[in-house]
Structure 1
Amino acid sequence: MPDERLNDLARLRARIGETATAAAAIAASTRTGSRANGRMMGTIRDAITWSGSDAMLSVFVVTAARAPLQLDWSVAKPPPLRVRTYLLEDVEGVLGDRTVHEHDAVFTDVPDELEAVLESLSTKAIEDGASAVWLGFEGSFSFDFLLSPEIAAQIYAVADADGAAVARDVDLRSDAWATRVAQARRRLLADG
């Protein structure tokens, strides 16, 4: 078990360098008129293609199991080139006995019918036993701000027992979207 924790820690440290670059791009993507990689940012599409060479969807899944839930990527066209899954250590015990896994799916381009893909992926994960699922921009995850209104603009899909909701670009900074994300947070923490 200690070796497993060391491996998780090593993977997390390796991701810190990636996350710092991504976080800068995400911050830029949520401000109208900012630039990243020489391109105008400001849309969900821009933020998930921040690297300039591919698209990445980061899916966060909360379950009662230690093992990650297998997500159904069959709805995504084109399919992901690869999916990496990471256990996110809940050191403070925010979620009690539940765990959060991050699934980073890398695509050659943004999947066709992105909104339908996000809704289907999230809904199926809930049906398969997840208590909450959300998609957020790279670098947006923090146990301190788990589904909080403060980071709602960095979350573009959320699902729980209330169903799945997918944000459009105009929704990200709206009070309605912040409220929906906060509802998912309240339910998630109350269920713990």
Structure 2
Amino acid sequence: MASSIREAICWSGPAVVILFTIGRAESRLEEGEFDVSGIRPDEVGLHEMSSEPREWQAVVREYDLTFEEGRLDDPDFPAYLRECLRKASARAEGIAWLTFEGAFHFDHLFTDDIADQIYGYCVAGDEPVVTWDREIMKSDRWKGEVRGVRSVLDVAFTSPEWRCVFPMDEEQICRGILEEGLDDWVPVDRLVGLARELSERRDVSHRDVSEKVLAHLLRDSLANVGDLGENRFEAWSDDADGAVRRVIHALDEVGWEPAGNVCWLANTPAGDREAADRQVI
């Protein structure tokens, strides 16, 4: 295993950043669209991937972005990758992620065994996340974040019909968070991303939407908010209103760019029942 992300990216010669997308849109990014904030790849390769097995109702693409190796040392390079992920996931109407050569297989998308081969991801409408630290990629916390992306994938792309994972009102955002929470803890990033998506379509404040949804989840005892400890969720001791204020303040402090570092949501038994009942047709 490569000891650094740079070493893994450059192992076969030139620096090749491999960006995958899975989504419902047929449209793709053109080469010039990877020119962001003065950084552009020397070459862009595009590969159409077979959507086997057949149950994956999705379009899958691989973009190979080639750079001169020294460009990886640019302190703005991780921010550049985040914007590429944001663009790619939006264009795909799905998920974009960064991984190393040889780490793609349909049976192992965002699974625990390859979490340490993924160094960035973005679900359309959410904030992109990129780490440039190999030790973070090996951590249980990172594995939990990648597992959260897998839960989105399972909901979105394994149904015979498309299911919307980008809800368009506050009630549906609550439902989406609880349904994802049936399988795992949900980073507050997910709520922020959905609120931002709603704000762009309805001319409302994503801050207000986030606060409203969070207050509903906590006051109705559908979810708890807390941190990820050593292999477990550690709920905060604040009451519902105090927890809401604490989360909103923490998000204000990071400019509403949580990047997995603010808090997580965990369904209560009531939240599980609510989500399970809504899934029954």
TM-score normalised by the chain length of structure 1: 0.71
Aligned residues: 151
Compute the displacement of 1:118 (Å): 1.3
Query: What amino acid does structure 1 have at the position aligned with 2:111?
Result: S
Structure ranking higher on relative contact order (CA contacts 8 Å, 6+ apart):
1
1:61 aligns with 2:26: no
Indicate conservation of the 8 Å contact 1:61/1:134, yes or no: yes
Q: Who is 1:70 aligned against?
A: 30
TM-score normalised by the chain length of structure 2: 0.50
* Greater helix fraction, Structure 1 or Structure 2: 2
SS state at 2:96 partner: strand
The match for 1:183 among 148, 163, 184 is: 148
Identity %: 30
Q: Who is 2:129 aligned against?
A: 165
Question: Gaps (5+ residues) in structure 2?
Answer: 158-281
Higher CA-based Rg:
2
Query: What amino acid does structure 1 have at the position aligned with 2:22?
Result: V
Q: Who is 1:103 aligned against?
A: 63
SS state at 1:163 partner: coil
The match for 1:139 among 99, 102, 118 is: 102
Compute the displacement of 1:163 (Å): 2.3
Mark the CA change 1:94 to 1:83 in structure 2 (over 3 Å): closer, same or farther.
Answer: farther
Q: Who is 1:127 aligned against?
A: 90
Compute the displacement of 1:77 (Å): 5.4
Query: What amino acid does structure 1 have at the position aligned with 2:44?
Result: V
Query: Runs ≥4 in structure 1, deviation > 6 angstroms?
Result: none
Indicate conservation of the 8 Å contact 1:61/1:130, yes or no: no
Q: Who is 1:79 aligned against?
A: 40
Question: Gaps (5+ residues) in structure 1?
Answer: 1-27, 30-41
Mark the CA change 1:70 to 1:63 in structure 2 (over 3 Å): closer, same or farther.
Answer: farther
Distance in 1 between the 2:110 and 2:37 partners? Answer: 25
Query: What amino acid does structure 1 have at the position aligned with 2:152?
Result: R
Query: What amino acid does structure 1 have at the position aligned with 2:45?
Result: R
The match for 1:154 among 117, 126, 151 is: 117
RMSD: 1.9
1:114 aligns with 2:74: no
